[in-house]
């Protein structure tokens, strides 16, 4: 069994296959969520700095839209910059079984190519669905060991991007296979990039989108790759996980269900490994009516990534605080939510949050750890000043497929993230187009973009 050839055949089938109402609806949900994240991140570093640094490369224009600069640019540039912007505010979709954010790289690459080729919405949605299938299934094959050192959105994202762009280029299964094979050897993204300081993490899906798009473009012209690169003894799985891949598991019942119909959409603006704890704290506070002053201690026990990635008792910067269980749980207790405003400068320095953080501890729970990645759970114990201990085993997260955000929830999230970026009229117009339109979305200028362009 060659998993690459099976995946390439499956991807190529999306070129002309019927788009069921269910798949179309879920693909539109993913697109709504991607635009919410991208437009919100488009006015922030590192995407803004990258756009400025690479401006000379776009002087000749192109057929894709860069939502950071507001200009028409080449496909690879749009994939890179938009893919980076889409991962900046940490509100992007998740395929939990692969520990992977597929939308950032897959949609960034697919949308850029679709815009460049003048495609219609159904073509984009088919490409997205096919790209999600390939990336998510390769991600399942290498988890959970892959996640010890690798940021899956960077390492797996180029497969989803390559497949999606191949579909839009109408590549057959052979050329799609070579696109996926070439994408494999450009996989990158280290976890240390977000365990420490710096802006590198959002670059991972941006790079994956660009690399995947390039792999598809050159494969369509005849560039070949090693077709045993996924499962070979020195291939992708062997190099990045504990074996040569769980391919029978990854390919089982391919298309049942389609990955894009089984997505998690974030309900908090931080690392998803904290979500179960945040949901438990929120619900316990609502049920028992205590305030933050009444809290003596909070013990969070979760799976290994909750401890390894998100135990940050001294977090200070925006990047660090988005991955800090201590900061986000304290914010939830004091403010009732962890949204974009949670990471404003005044919140980062809030003395009330800082006073709560030392009372919050993080540990690994064997039961939660054994359930990962299929379930993202946490056990929370809150000790109050009156001696009561409130406990909850949170077995899933709000936003996971078994506790999904509704379409109305997604629309509210979209408007929350995009209205400050583009204004209410533009945001509502785009939202309607994404839910019901047959034409692709085009330029959506950020507020103040004309002023910035004139200044440049």
Q: Where are the domains of the chain?
A: 3-261, 272-394
- Which tokens hold the place of 364? 């690994």
Upstream peptide bond of 373 is cis (omega within 30 degrees of 0): yes
Q: How far apart are CA 43 and CA 417, in angstroms?
A: 12
Residue showing tokens 């919100």: 40
- Which tokens hold the place of 353? 């949050």
Phi, psi of 301 (to 5 degrees): -120, 125
What is the CATH topology of the domain spanning 272-394?
60s Ribosomal Protein L30; Chain: A; (3.30.1330)
**Paired strand residues for 260:** none
Query: Strands 295-302 and 360-364: what pairing?
Result: parallel
Distance of CA 60 to the CA centre of its chain: 31
The pLDDT of residue 450 is 58
437 burial (CB, 10 Å; 0-12 / 13-18 / 19+) is middle
Residue 99 Ramachandran class (φ > 0 left, ψ -120 to 50 alpha, else beta): left
The answer as to CATH 1.10.4100.10 being correct for domain 3-261 is yes
pLDDT along the chain (456 residues), means of 10: 96 92 98 98 97 94 96 97 97 97 98 97 98 98 96 98 98 98 97 90 98 98 98 97 95 91 96 97 97 96 96 94 97 95 94 97 97 95 97 96 96 97 97 97 86 45
Q: How far apart are CA 361 and CA 346, in angstroms?
A: 24
The pLDDT of residue 451 is 46
The pLDDT of residue 196 is 80
DSSP of 42-64: TTSTTHHHHHHHTGGGGTT--SE
Residue showing tokens 């693909």: 27
Q: Which of 263, 258, 280 is nearest to 401 (CA)?
A: 263
- Which tokens hold the place of 46? 């590192």
Residue showing tokens 């009732």: 336
**Paired strand residues for 382:** 298, 390
The pLDDT of residue 308 is 95
Coil vs helix vs strand at 452:
helix
**Paired strand residues for 297:** 383
Q: How far apart are CA 344 and CA 321, in angstroms?
A: 11
Q: To which H or E segment does residue 380 belong?
A: strand 378-384
């Amino acid at each position: 069994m060659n998993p690459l050839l099976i995946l390439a055949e499956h991807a190529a089938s999306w070129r002309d296959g019927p788009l069921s109402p269910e798949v179309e609806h879920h693909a539109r949900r993913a697109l709504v969520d991607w635009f919410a994240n991208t437009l919100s991140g488009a006015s922030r570093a590192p995407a803004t700095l990258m756009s400025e640094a690479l401006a000379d490369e776009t002087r000749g224009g192109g057929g894709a839209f860069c939502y950071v600069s507001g200009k028409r640019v080449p496909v690879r540039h749009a994939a890179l910059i938009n893919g980076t912007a889409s991962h900046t505010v940490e509100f992007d979709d998740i395929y939990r079984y692969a520990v992977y954010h597929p939308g950032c790289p897959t949609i960034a690459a697919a949308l850029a190519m679709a815009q460049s080729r003048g495609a219609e919405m159904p073509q984009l949605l088919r490409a997205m669905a096919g790209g999600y299938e390939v990336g998510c299934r390769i991600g399942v094959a290498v988890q959970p060991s892959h996640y010890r050192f690798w940021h899956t959105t960077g390492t797996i994202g180029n497969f989803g991007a390559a497949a999606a762009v191949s579909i839009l280029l109408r590549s057959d299964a052979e050329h799609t296979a070579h696109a996926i094979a070439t994408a494999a050897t450009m996989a990158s993204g280290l976890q240390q990039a977000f365990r420490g300081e710096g802006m590198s993490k959002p670059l991972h899906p941006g790079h994956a989108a660009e690399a995947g798009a390039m792999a598809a473009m050159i494969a369509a012209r005849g560039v070949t790759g090693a077709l045993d690169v996924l499962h070979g003894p020195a291939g992708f799985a062997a190099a990045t996980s504990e074996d040569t891949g769980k391919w029978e598991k990854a390919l089982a019942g391919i298309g049942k269900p389609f990955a894009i119909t089984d997505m998690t959409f974030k309900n908090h603006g931080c690392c998803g490994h904290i979500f179960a704890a945040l949901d438990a704290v929120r619900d316990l506070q609502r049920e028992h009516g205590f305030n933050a002053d009444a809290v003596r201690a909070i013990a969070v026990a979760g799976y290994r990534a909750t401890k390894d990635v998100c135990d940050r008792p001294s977090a200070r910067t925006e990047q660090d605080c988005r991955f800090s269980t201590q900061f986000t749980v304290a914010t939830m207790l004091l403010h009732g939510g962890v949204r974009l405003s949670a990471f404003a400068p005044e919140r980062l320095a809030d003395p009330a949050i800082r006073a709560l953080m030392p009372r919050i501890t993080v540990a690994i729970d064997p039961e939660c750890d054994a359930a990962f990645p299929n379930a993202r759970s946490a056990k929370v114990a809150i000790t109050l000043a009156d001696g009561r201990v409130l406990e909850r085993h949170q077995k899933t997260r709000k936003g996971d497929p078994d506790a999904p955000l509704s379409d109305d929830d997604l629309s509210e999230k979209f408007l929350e993230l995009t209205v400050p970026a583009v204004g209410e009229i533009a945001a509502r117009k785009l939202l309607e187009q994404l839910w019901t339109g047959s034409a692709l979305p085009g330029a959506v200028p950020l507020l103040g973009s004309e002023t910035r362009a004139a200044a440049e």
